Amino acid sequence: MITSRRARIRSARLARRARGFTLIEVLVAITILVILGALVAPRFGTVRRGEGMLAGDQVEGLVRMWAYRSAMSTQQVGIWRNGETGFISLRVRDINLDNPDEGSLWREDRLSLPVRLPETVEIVDVTSNGEQLDPNDWFVQTNPDRSRPRLSITLRDYAQAETTISIEPYSIETIRNDPGQQVVGRRPVDLDREGQERSRW
């Protein structure tokens, strides 16, 4: 009698285990997962968007430093994307004053840190005075008379949004075009053509 009762209880437990989940339990679990996904996904996207913006800021800072150094230094200055390491860095040309005919040497600039783009951001276009360069491995340098070419770098993030950073030969201020934003920077204006010939400048 006792044995049969125990057997019935045991078989009832086994039957409850074998029956699986009810529809309500499945719906509750799915609802919880959807809510968690809705909370986590935007933060993940924000982090990735933040990586793209930070990469743009770093490249823009390096381009500004290149322009500033070319305006203030007597040495030639270059900006280089190393195809092997992926780093973008400033280079300075050292000339041997004792023997100027001897070959000069490009060394890394000590006043600026190299920039490495995150995996979610890539350079898709680089132009120097309108000439297309290899986006993965390029070098743009100032001329011996310290003049600079016009440089334009386009970055693309994980969401396929493109940011273009460019700088004119006469300016140390960059022009940045982020997705959905107006172009930031100064451009030359012909005051006579704009009807502002009496404006102060």
pLDDT at 170: 84
Residue 178, number of CB atoms within 10 A of its CB: 17
Residue of higher predicted confidence among 95 and 131: 131
**pLDDT score at 77:** 92
What pLDDT sits at residue 105?
84
| pLDDT confidence band for 59 (50 / 70 / 90) | very high
pLDDT tens digit string along 93-115? 887 666 666 667 888 988 888 99
The distance of Cα 126 from the centroid of its chain, to the nearest Å, equals 14
State the pTM of this model: 0.65
Give the integer Cα–Cα distance in Å for 190 and 197: 9
